[in-house]
Amino acid sequence: MYQILLIIAPLFLIIFASAILQRLKLIGENWSQVLNEFALKIGLPILIFSALSKVSLSFSDQSELIVSNSLFVLGSLLLAYVVGKLLRLKKQMFLSLFACFVFGNIAYLGIPVLTQIKGDKILTTVSLIIAVYFFWIFTVGIGYMDYATMRNKRHVAKDMVMNLVKNPLLIAIFLGIVVGSLHIVLPAILVKSMDMVTASVTPTVLVVIGLFIGKSTLGKWADWLPVFSFTLLTLVILPAIFYFSVKLLGYAPSKFSVSIIEAAMPLAITPFALADKYSLNKDFIARSIVLSTVLSIISLPFWISML
């Protein structure tokens, strides 16, 4: 576990160094927005497209990966719904919990962590997992939130389709699969340009996470109790459910190691970006992002060493 911690420690060093610089106001206020736009709309899509375009995928060979992650995402959404109803949460907190359950940092932190451990060869698998998550999140997940908050329910299906069509990461995944499956050879100059962009993605997304942490306010200790409970659920219980479900079905957990590690990722920044649209609890989400990211420096090495 100590060796794994040393491998991923540089990633968290970039995150926390960025957070300190932001806290000391040595970085401009608009940095996080600009870098996040670059990462989300340019950097990560090119990284994912580049990885998928270089391989020919067989969906029959990847069926277990697709099915297992689909069941995990849908099961997590169902669990969020059940927990929210059992706790009789008010609408704002219920939707906040629902949004946070499946928005793990599978892209911004997942890609750097997994490539640091397993090398760039793992990008194809990671990209497919991201595709599975995003498909269900932006159909069932966001669809339900639209249904719960919109007065005119007739537009929910239309919004679900638009969420998929306009998502740059899903577009990159689709195009990458098409190019790879058809064995299309891209011009060398284009490949070299994409490689230059992909080299900048990892430090950029880590800085974005750090800047968000640096901007967050601490608040009162009592406000952190529900945050700690949610963080425990995210970093420990949900990946444990995935881990033991795989064992129960007779598979070796190591076969699904990438999926389980992705399931153990801390909360992503996305729910905070959705907070205004769906009137979510910003304080709870921001603190959950901060605490889960900080504690993941302990939990991630644990899961990686287990697998």
Taking only the tens place, the pLDDT of each residue in 157-182 is 666 677 667 778 788 888 888 888 88
Please state, in angstroms and rounded to a whole number, the distance separating the CA atoms of residues 298 and 307.
Answer: 15
Neighbours of 166 (CB within 10 A): 10
Query: What pLDDT digit, counting tens, does each position of 62-88 carry?
Result: 888 889 999 999 999 999 999 888 988
Phi, then psi, of 104 in degrees rounded to 5: -70, 160
Mean pLDDT within 178-187 = 86
Please state, in angstroms and rounded to a whole number, the distance separating the CA atoms of residues 274 and 287.
Answer: 15
Is residue 151 predicted with pLDDT exceeding 70?
Answer: no
Mean pLDDT within 99-107 = 85
Spatial contact of 211 and 19, defined as CB atoms under 8 Å apart: yes
pTM of the model: 0.84
Mean pLDDT within 274-296 = 85
The pLDDT, as a whole number, for residue 172 is 87
CA atoms lying within 13 Å on the CB side of residue 169: 21
The pLDDT, as a whole number, for residue 226 is 86
CATH number of the domain enclosing 161: 1.20.1530.20
Coil, strand or helix at 58? coil
Domain span at 26: 2-306
Taking the CA atoms of residue 148, residue 154, residue 157 and residue 161 in that order, the dihedral angle to the nearest 10 degrees is -110
Spatial contact of 94 and 108, defined as CB atoms under 8 Å apart: no
Spatial contact of 52 and 176, defined as CB atoms under 8 Å apart: yes
Please state, in angstroms and rounded to a whole number, the distance separating the CA atoms of residues 280 and 14.
Answer: 29
The pLDDT, as a whole number, for residue 160 is 67
Is residue 152 predicted with pLDDT exceeding 70?
Answer: no
Mean pLDDT within 170-196 = 87
Is residue 154 predicted with pLDDT exceeding 80?
Answer: no
Taking the CA atoms of residue 99, residue 104, residue 108 and residue 113 in that order, the dihedral angle to the nearest 10 degrees is 170
Is residue 251 predicted with pLDDT exceeding 80?
Answer: yes
The pLDDT, as a whole number, for residue 155 is 64
User: Cα 138–172–147 angle (5° rounding)?
Assistant: 10
| pLDDT more than 90, % of the chain | 20
The pLDDT, as a whole number, for residue 163 is 67
Please state, in angstroms and rounded to a whole number, the distance separating the CA atoms of residues 59 and 54.
Answer: 16
| Domains in the chain, number | 1
* Summary mean pLDDT of the chain: 85
pLDDT range class, residue 156, cuts 50, 70, 90:
low
